[in-house]
């Protein structure tokens, strides 16, 4: 006798077959009925009896049929694309995959910082030209790294920076929550501006919200030291692209590492491709072979909570639910 039905939508992520997620859930929840829908028709048919639905997106047609759903387990850290209010109005809870990306995204940020600090990109260019000549490089040690967003990803970034003897500033919507950085500031006001003015590396690891959309604008680029480097693993729209282009063209920025852009995908003819001091990766900082294992761990822990309490509430990574 199974406890519940878990429907896994057919949409995968990061090029990893979604079958791996289904297998990971079955291993952790052998008494539950774990079903992987392989077609749209199967999704629409099976969702009517599903207690738990897991996937990246959730559309109106599915929502209308999800009469038994108690939990939508999102497979992405971002949730701004989901109909949160509509799902909550139907009595269901929404969780996300916050924390799943932490180790790999933090490693990518660290790699970006080291490339700029040690000018490894210049070495790669000289290698392509088979040109052996020394050039000046700097150190990460002693610099100031400001991390915008101190959720699971931001905290992992700060943790990995500790051995490098850098100063750290954390910027978050609710600075009173504190954090693992040397200093904490809010996302606006004199303290934020002062922090930006002392920043060597500005790392964006925050969700996209009304507060953070366009947060990094012309004023921020004017306040940053001209040698500063921007690293964005958050969302493209956290940065005003025109302001970024103007800063790069005016030599008001030392460089940028962009895993996300606005627009995205970045069109072939976009001017951001043309700067030697801009590193672009195709929104893959979250990619890791352990992705689905970590997602399965979150869902498993949440279902253990439900087993104990009998209720779908106060779950790990809960971002919406009935009031």
The residues assigned a catalytic role are 235, 264, 283
116-121: which pairs have CB atoms within 8 A and are 24 or more residues apart? 116/201, 116/229, 116/254, 116/255, 116/257, 117/143, 121/276, 121/277, 121/279
CA–CA gap between residue 84 and residue 190 (Å, rounded): 34
* Residue 253 near residue 246, CB atoms below 8 Å: no
Query: To which H or E segment does residue 126 belong?
Result: helix 120-128
Element (H, E) at 42: helix 40-46
Residue 183: phi and psi, rounded to 5, are -135, 155
Q: How far is CA 304 from CA 28, 58, 77, 310, 315, in A?
A: 10, 24, 21, 10, 10
């Amino acid at each position: 006798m199974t406890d519940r039905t878990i429907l896994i939508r057919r949409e995968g992520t990061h090029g990893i077959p979604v079958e791996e997620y289904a297998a990971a859930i079955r291993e952790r929840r052998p008494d539950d009925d774990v079903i992987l829908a392989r077609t749209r028709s199967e999704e629409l048919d099976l969702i009517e009896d599903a207690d738990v639905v897991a996937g990246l997106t959730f559309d109106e047609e599915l929502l209308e049929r999800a009469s038994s759903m108690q939990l939508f387990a999102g497979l992405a850290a971002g949730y701004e694309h989901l109909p949160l209010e509509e799902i909550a109005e139907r009595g269901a809870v929404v969780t996300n995959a916050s924390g799943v990306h932490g180790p790999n995204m933090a490693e990518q940020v660290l790699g970006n910082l080291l490339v700029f600090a040690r000018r490894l990109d210049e070495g790669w260019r000289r290698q392509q030209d088979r040109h052996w000549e020394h050039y000046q490089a700097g150190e990460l040690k002693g610099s100031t790294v400001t991390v915008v967003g101190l959720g699971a990803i931001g905290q992992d970034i700060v943790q990995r920076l500790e051995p490098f003897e850098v100063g750290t500033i954390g910027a978050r919507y609710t600075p009173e929550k504190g954090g693992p950085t040397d200093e904490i500031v809010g996302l606006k006001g004199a303290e934020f501006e002062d922090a930006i003015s002392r920043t060597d590396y500005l790392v964006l690891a925050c969700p996209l919200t009304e507060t953070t959309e366009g947060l990094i604008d012309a004023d921020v680029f004017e306040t940053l030291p001209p040698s500063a480097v921007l690293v964005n693993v958050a969302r493209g729209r956290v940065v005003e692209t025109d302001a970024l282009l103007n800063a790069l063209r005016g030599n008001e920025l030392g460089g940028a590492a962009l895993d996300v852009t606005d627009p995205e995908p970045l069109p072939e003819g976009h001017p951001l491709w043309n700067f030697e001091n801009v590193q672009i990766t195709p929104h893959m900082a979250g990619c890791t072979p352990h992705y689905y294992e970590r997602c399965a761990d979150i869902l498993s822990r949440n279902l253990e909570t439900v087993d104990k309490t009998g209720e779908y509430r106060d779950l790990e990574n809960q971002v919406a639910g009935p009031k």
